[in-house]
Amino acid sequence: MSVDNTHRFLQLAAPGIAGLAPYEPGKPAADLEREYGIRNAVKLASNENPAGPSPAVRAALADAAAGIERYPDGAAFALRDVLAAHLRIQPQQLTLGNGSNDILVLLAETFLTPGHAAVYDQYSFVVYRLAVQACGAEARIAASRPVDDEQPLGHDLDAMQALVDEQVRLVFIANPNNPTGTWLEQPALKKFIAGLPSDVIVVLDEAYLEYARQPDDHDTLDWLNEFDNLVIVRTFSKAYALAGLRIGYSISSPAVAGLLNRVRQPFNVNSLAQTAAIAALGDQSWIADGVAQNIVERARLESELGALGLTIVPSRGNFILVDFSSAERAATVNEFLLRRGVIVRPVANYGLPQYLRMTVGTPAENVRLLTELQSFADGS
């Protein structure tokens, strides 16, 4: 006879864990097909790269599979050297993670205690909240820009600055931001970092950097020479299309990287992920082609969604946040799309119940999404 001991074990858990809600990932296509009895579902929910990894990556993975009975290189020396050369930094500035989520958690575990605080934006990546809460630290949430702003729902740097005091150890900034797609221009962002105390760690999350780069942008890695409290977090999950292998990294001062690597779990990046990342770095033309297609398809989606009378939040990511005017309508549209085999992402857990986030897919996937939305509008 089973006994529910949930309440008893909740009392034993650390304070931050007891009230923690698990992260909710995008619905897998296989789950939808099983639950709804449909086939050929399209997933546009998790901001994955629909082009997939390059042929060079697939070939490297096939070769690497022969050695999976061995533990991976715990220090990832080969990958660190290749990545450092690609970024033009020193290998000791790198920390590798099981996805960039792993790095975000490492930062919280390294620098936060119940006596400290972290600052992040109201509509920023939910993992910031989860990582801060798990450490029992105080979350200070800055109000986002209003919906009528030129960057609707984007980061308000003045509001974030106002929350910083001697208790604050971390400030999380996503540029561009998930789930909104909004961005910060480099001069304003650099001025904000310069205005923070030197003992506040600034976490600049650039998971969608490749999709957002503008011709006149500088590489934010150059800022590390000015700000030793800056940590830049990047990933191979998005433009590099290695989401299933879980590999991300941070670039920081060697002192900060040294601390993160004390906390990092042994073998946190598996051997296949290390091999794939090296191969992906060597095929930059594949990355450039995928980014170029995303930009074209994102513009087409924005135009055609606008033609359907929908309000679009400006985006520099590989996704678009769409306003359906009410939580009820967003939920109805989401259910309609699910039954038609199209998975998008409800973002009520971000405090945005009237919106749906839609990944930019292949041209065919985007046509299917638009066709189904037109069918909904037509009442069919």
User: What are residue 137's phi and psi, to 5 degrees?
Assistant: -85, 165
> Model confidence over 194-223: pLDDT tens digits?
999 999 999 999 999 999 998 888 999 999
Q: What does the angle CA 205 – CA 207 – CA 210 come to, to the nearest 5 degrees?
A: 120
- CA 130 – CA 150 distance, rounded (Å): 29
| Contact between 109 and 273 (Cβ < 8 Å) | no
* Segments forming the whole domain that contains residue 191: 55-282
What is the reported pLDDT for 1? 43
Q: What is the DSSP letter of 28?
A: P
- Among 282, 299, 314, the domain boundary falls at 282
Q: What is the DSSP letter of 113?
A: -
Tokens 């034993």 — which residue? 12
Judged against a pLDDT cut of 90, whether residue 360 lies above it is answered with: yes
As a whole number, mean pLDDT of residues 252-259 equals 97
In a domain, 18, yes or no: no
Question: Which CATH number goes with the domain that contains 140?
Answer: 3.40.640.10
Mark whether 104 and 121 lie in a shared domain: yes
Mark whether 232 and 264 lie in a shared domain: yes
Q: What does the angle CA 219 – CA 220 – CA 223 come to, to the nearest 5 degrees?
A: 120
In a domain, 356, yes or no: yes
Judged against a pLDDT cut of 60, whether residue 3 lies above it is answered with: no
Mark whether 276 and 293 lie in a shared domain: no
Domains: count for the chain: 2
- CA 192 – CA 160 distance, rounded (Å): 9
Go through 233-248 and write b for each residue having 16 or more CB atoms within 10 A of its CB, e for each that does not: bbbbbbbbbbbebbbb
Judged against a pLDDT cut of 70, whether residue 369 lies above it is answered with: yes
In a domain, 327, yes or no: yes
Mark whether 157 and 302 lie in a shared domain: no
Mark whether 333 and 245 lie in a shared domain: no
pTM of the model: 0.94
Q: Give the end-to-end CA distance of the chain in Å, rounded to a whole number.
A: 50
What is the reported pLDDT for 24? 73
Tokens 């600034």 — which residue? 202
- CA 374 – CA 380 distance, rounded (Å): 9
**What ranges in 135-198 are assigned the alpha helix state H?**
157-161, 186-194
What is the reported pLDDT for 319? 98
- Among 282, 304, 332, the domain boundary falls at 282
What is the reported pLDDT for 380? 66
Q: Where are the beta strands (DSSP E) in 183-335?
A: 201-205, 230-235, 248-251, 311-313, 319-323
- CA 201 – CA 260 distance, rounded (Å): 13
In a domain, 94, yes or no: yes
Lowest mean pLDDT: which of 5-14, 89-98, 137-146? 5-14
In a domain, 14, yes or no: no
Judged against a pLDDT cut of 90, whether residue 18 lies above it is answered with: no
In a domain, 11, yes or no: no
Mark whether 256 and 364 lie in a shared domain: no
Give the residue among 205, 356, 365, 362 at the shortest CA–CA distance from 294: 362
Mark whether 330 and 245 lie in a shared domain: no
The packing angle between helices 363-378 and 284-307, to 10°, is 10
Mark whether 231 and 299 lie in a shared domain: no
In a domain, 4, yes or no: no
Mark whether 151 and 193 lie in a shared domain: yes
> Model confidence over 319-359: pLDDT tens digits?
999 999 999 999 999 999 999 999 999 999 999 999 999 99
Judged against a pLDDT cut of 70, whether residue 307 lies above it is answered with: yes
- CA 302 – CA 323 distance, rounded (Å): 12
- CA 370 – CA 308 distance, rounded (Å): 9
> Model confidence over 55-75: pLDDT tens digits?
999 999 999 988 899 999 999
Residue 228's CB: how many other CB atoms inside 10 A? 14
- CA 322 – CA 304 distance, rounded (Å): 12
Mark whether 111 and 46 lie in a shared domain: no
Tokens of 178: 């998930």
Amino acid of residue 180: T
> Model confidence over 27-51: pLDDT tens digits?
788 888 888 888 889 999 999 999 9
The packing angle between helices 55-64 and 271-281, to 10°, is 150
What is the reported pLDDT for 14? 78
- Among 282, 299, 333, the domain boundary falls at 282
- CA 352 – CA 374 distance, rounded (Å): 23
In a domain, 17, yes or no: no
Mark whether 158 and 273 lie in a shared domain: yes
- CA 67 – CA 63 distance, rounded (Å): 8
Q: Where are the beta strands (DSSP E) in the chain?
A: 42-43, 94-97, 117-121, 138-142, 168-174, 201-205, 230-235, 248-251, 311-313, 319-323, 342-343, 345-346, 355-359
Question: Which CATH number goes with the domain that contains 37?
Answer: 3.90.1150.10
Mark whether 177 and 107 lie in a shared domain: yes
- CA 342 – CA 38 distance, rounded (Å): 11
Residue 20's CB: how many other CB atoms inside 10 A? 14
**Preceding omega of 179 cis (within 30 degrees of 0):** yes
